[in-house]
Amino acid sequence: MDGTPTTTTMGPRKPVVLYPSPGMGHLVSMIELGKLFTARGLVITIVVIDPPNNTSATGPFLAGVSAANPSISFHRLPQVKLGESERPEMLTFQLARLSNPHLHDFLAGASPAILVVDFFCSAAMDVAAELGIPAYFFCTSGAQVLAYFMHLTVLHGKSTVSLREMGEELVHAPGIPSFPASHSIQPLMNRDGPAYKELLSVSAKLFGSQGIIVNTFRSLEPRAVDTIVAGLCTPPGLPTPPVYCIGPLIKSEEVGVKRGDECLAWLDTQPKASVVFLCFGSLGRFSAKQTREVAAGLEASGQRFLWVVRSPPGEDDPAKTKFEKPAEPDLDALLPEGFLDRTKGWGLVVKSWAPQRDVLAHDAVGCFVTHCGWNSVLESVMAGVPMLAWPLYAEQKMNKVFLEKEMRLAVAMEGYDKELVEAGEVAKKVRWVMDSEGGRALRERTLTAMRQANDALLEGGESEATLAGLVDAWVHA
């Protein structure tokens, strides 16, 4: 955020402890939050829990963050052992719960002024309560997802039917567009499953916090924010915690040792707003058949493209591979024969990774085909690049509905919720965004959102003022 950092400190320099869940997207968001706090004179410690099969890939990155930000330190909790049969959606909840004794020991010694916990580390709220530490939630998703989760216990009480049995029946919650039950996040589909019970517990714990910090800005999601603040998402008899919209927070530098120079140098040779960028997050992977359909669609579209291709998912146990880095893709085996030669010059395929933030910020990029992860959405908004939505997992199908129906910053790739998105659809939608009147209107709305985002972060802007007020309240508590 712009503006002169304040230098006030909290009493005897007690730290503010941030507790992200594992997964680079959550870790990066929490680090960026920490940077905002240190710019206002706070001392930050970020507690890190390692997933099973951890490759220590975050080690060099965290060391770099510490070196560049002396007021941020990291504390790595001892690793815990999980049961062999844990499903992917349960991993983070179990990691956090099993880490509570280690977290208790650390917090008892550190005596922090404030604890900020990731949505998926809600088990830490019990430790905070025991030690008398004021605790806040940090929501790395948007306000509309938060509104849904705050209302979850009310929805649960209204029905005895699982979401998976409701199919395309609409789910209604205050402050958000109605969406098909099939578009809720996967762990909520079975109301008798352990993941559903965990998320129901998180929903209840939100109302025991001192407040909820959200990575959004009010003018992006005004209806959801106003509905939450008015208490319309809150179950009867519970207090509505204060909500602090301090975003958009996007990473200030790219994660990883690779710089992606090939991508950026190639974009330098392309006309302004002419390139379609396709990238689907750290966990987004397509079957070989779907990858070939995308290739055929891009070639048929005639549009310039930059495409990040990952290896197809294997047959491994998903619980063991959730946090593991996939193998590099074999492009010759995955892509149609001759595709790379035929598209040379106007298309570029890169393996596994690209510097997404820098790519989106490049003048040559005119469309972003995205999985609708919230970090990616905010990076696209900050760059003023219209989105073509292809949601895959987590809350992304909900985000797609919100982006399309409420924010009007994306159109959907038809078939995303079926077995296959066909090449003809890829070609049609890419051309629509890049060449049609509707696509131009979409681009104008996105540029308006970009200007609102930048205004929110300026000194005195809605997000900057919210952050300043929160920190001031902590300092003078």
Contacts of 28 (CB under 8 A, 6+ apart): 251, 255, 375
Tokens representing residue 135 in the block: 């605790």
Q: Which helix (H) or strand (E) holds 47?
A: strand 44-48
Q: What does residue 91 show for φ and ψ, rounded to 5 degrees?
A: -55, -50
| 12, pLDDT greater than 50 | no
pLDDT bracket for residue 337 (50, 70, 90): very high
Please give the C-alpha separations between residue 437 and each of 30, 199, 432, 441, 442, in angstroms, as whole numbers: 39, 42, 8, 6, 9
| 343, pLDDT greater than 70 | yes
Given this model, what pLDDT does residue 56 score? 59
Q: If you average pLDDT over residues 230-249, what whole number do you get? A: 97
Between 85-94, 216-225, 238-247, the lowest mean confidence (pLDDT) is in: 85-94
Share of the chain above pLDDT 70, in %: 91
Quick check: 182 and 417 in contact, CB under 8 A? yes
pLDDT bracket for residue 317 (50, 70, 90): very low
Q: What does residue 348 show for φ and ψ, rounded to 5 degrees?
A: -135, 125
Dist CA 272 CA 38 (whole Å): 37
**End-to-end CA gap in the chain:** 24
Given this model, what pLDDT does residue 316 score? 47
From the DSSP assignment, how many helices (H) and strands (E) are in the chain? Answer: 21, 15
Of residues 404 and 318, more confidence is placed in: 404
Taking the domain 261-453, which CATH number applies?
A: 3.40.50.2000
- Of 26, 151, 362, 371, the catalytic one is 26
pLDDT bracket for residue 60 (50, 70, 90): confident
156 labelled catalytic: no
118 labelled catalytic: yes
Tokens representing residue 233 in the block: 């998402």
76 forms bridges with which residues in the sheet?
Answer: 48
Q: If you average pLDDT over residues 390-415, what whole number do you get? A: 97
Quick check: 267 and 364 in contact, CB under 8 A? yes
Quick check: 157 and 151 in contact, CB under 8 A? no
- SS3 label, residue 345: coil
Going by C-alpha positions, the residue among 376, 373, 372 that lies closest to residue 359 is 376
The string over 159-185, giving b where at least 16 C-beta atoms fall within 10 Å of a residue's C-beta and e elsewhere, is: eeeebeebeeeebebbbbbebbbebbb
73 forms bridges with which residues in the sheet?
Answer: 45
Dist CA 151 CA 171 (whole Å): 11
Quick check: 16 and 112 in contact, CB under 8 A? yes
Quick check: 258 and 41 in contact, CB under 8 A? no
| 320, pLDDT greater than 50 | no
Mean pLDDT score of the chain: 91
- Cis status, amide bond into 174, omega within 30 of 0: no
The string over 290-322, giving b where at least 16 C-beta atoms fall within 10 Å of a residue's C-beta and e elsewhere, is: bbbbbbbbbbebebbbbbbbbbbeeeeeebbbb
Q: Measure the CA angle with vertex 173, ends 450 and 456; round to 5°.
A: 20
- Of 50, 118, 358, 371, the catalytic one is 118
Tokens representing residue 443 in the block: 């681009």
- pLDDT per residue over 163-180, tens digit each? 999 999 999 999 999 999
SS3 content of the chain, % helix, strand, coil (to 5): 45, 15, 40
Q: Where are the alpha helices (DSSP H) in 206-338?
A: 222-229, 261-268, 288-301, 318-321, 331-334
pLDDT bracket for residue 291 (50, 70, 90): very high
Tokens representing residue 229 in the block: 């603040």
- SS3 label, residue 229: helix
DSSP 58: H
Domain ranges of the chain: 16-252+458-475, 261-453
Given this model, what pLDDT does residue 464 score? 98
Class of domain 16-252+458-475: alpha beta
- Establish whether domains 16-252+458-475 and 261-453 are of one fold: yes
Dist CA 183 CA 194 (whole Å): 19
Q: Where are the alpha helices (DSSP H) in 83-216?
A: 88-98, 100-110, 124-131, 143-150, 152-158, 163-166, 194-205
Dist CA 132 CA 291 (whole Å): 52
Q: If you average pLDDT over residues 429-440, what whole number do you get? A: 98
Going by C-alpha positions, the residue among 246, 250, 252, 241 that lies closest to residue 216 is 246
Specify whether the backbone of 50 is left (phi greater than 0), alpha (psi in -120 to 50) or beta.
beta
- Identity of residue 103: L
- SS3 label, residue 311: coil
pTM to 2 decimals? 0.93
